[in-house]
Amino acid sequence: MADSMDRLFPGRVFISTVLDALDTKTTMTGEVARIFLQRAAMAGIIIGVFYMTNFSIVSVFAGIPVNADLTLAGVGKLIGGLAFGWALVFIYYTKSELLTSNMMVVTVGVYHKRTTVARSLKIMGLCLLGNFIGGLVIATLVRFSTLTGGAVGDQMLAAAAHKLEYISAGPAGWADLFVRAIFCNFMINIAMTLIWNGFIKDDLTRSLAMIMAVFIFAFLGFEHSVANTVLFTVVGFTHGIDIGLALGNVAIALVGNYIGGGLLIGLYYAWANDHRHYLKTHPELAEEPPVAQ
């Protein structure tokens, strides 16, 4: 009977794992919020380090001329995106807290009434604060170094300027940013779905799934609210930045990220794997637990 349920609702293990994770996050943000903030700050630090690595790789290849009009910048973008992909692996295995993943977790929890909207907002708010603090730590340290000088700094400045142009361009730019943010967190959380659904057993495949998801968003230019926050903070500390445009970018990216990860992944999988209505006509299956594949 369990096999029958698992064929009809193959995401039951995923939902169970997410709800268990939510219970831990709820407890942490209520009783040991300091530790939750520390975990979130570590995620911001990891993103900062790997983002700088990405820009360093891009700057190296952009400086290699092929001819008078062509460099290897595209190769640098490809390799840099793959390097940046490891950030999610490091965040996952250090048990750090990333806002965009938590968007999916709390949405599943609200659907299943394991948490409230108010508690979900608290989890996401504390996570965003911690992620920002981590970026602030990186920005402060980098401010007193030459890590973002020269070609690396030029690449980061160009990336920040491009992201700010979405806001200064008006409604068309806002819509572009919004769509890119939706796709970004869709990719992040589809990777987490693969990690938590019980089908992948080995760490190598889990890591490859996370690396590829982040690579796709980095290479295609999707917009990640936390990564943007860290980038803007580093650039702001080292070169200066328009705070109003930066806040506008992050605000739109946050909404888009929530739709991509919270609704398109969290709400969709919570609804698609809700077997409770099926049990009303098949009560004999009510005690059968989900089986990890």
Helix segments in 197-238, DSSP class H = 203-220, 225-238
The Cα 108–Cα 114 span in angstroms is: 8
DSSP string over 83-113: HHHHHHHHHHHTT---HHHHHHHHHHHHHTT
- Token look-up 């803007």 returns 232
pLDDT at 282 over 60: no
User: Per residue in 204-246, pLDDT tens?
Assistant: 999 999 999 999 999 999 999 999 999 999 999 999 999 999 9
The Cα 44–Cα 4 span in angstroms is: 42
DSSP string over 149-194: -HHHHHHHHHHHHHHHHHHHT-HHHHHHHHHHHHHHHHHHHHHHHH
Write out the two tokens for 20.
């268990």
Distance of CA 51 to the CA centre of its chain: 13
If one counts every other C-beta atom within 10 angstroms of the C-beta of residue 198, the result is 18
User: Per residue in 252-274, pLDDT tens?
Assistant: 999 999 999 999 999 999 999 88
User: Per residue in 48-69, pLDDT tens?
Assistant: 999 999 999 999 999 988 887 7
What does pTM read for this prediction?
Answer: 0.91
pLDDT at 285 over 60: no
Q: The domain 10-276 is classified under which CATH number: 1.10.1470.10, 1.20.1080.10, 2.40.50.140, 3.30.1490.20?
A: 1.20.1080.10
The residue extents of the domains of the chain are 10-276
For the segment 37-52, the average pLDDT, to the nearest whole number, is: 97
The Cα 270–Cα 260 span in angstroms is: 14
For the segment 173-187, the average pLDDT, to the nearest whole number, is: 98
The Cα 138–Cα 118 span in angstroms is: 30
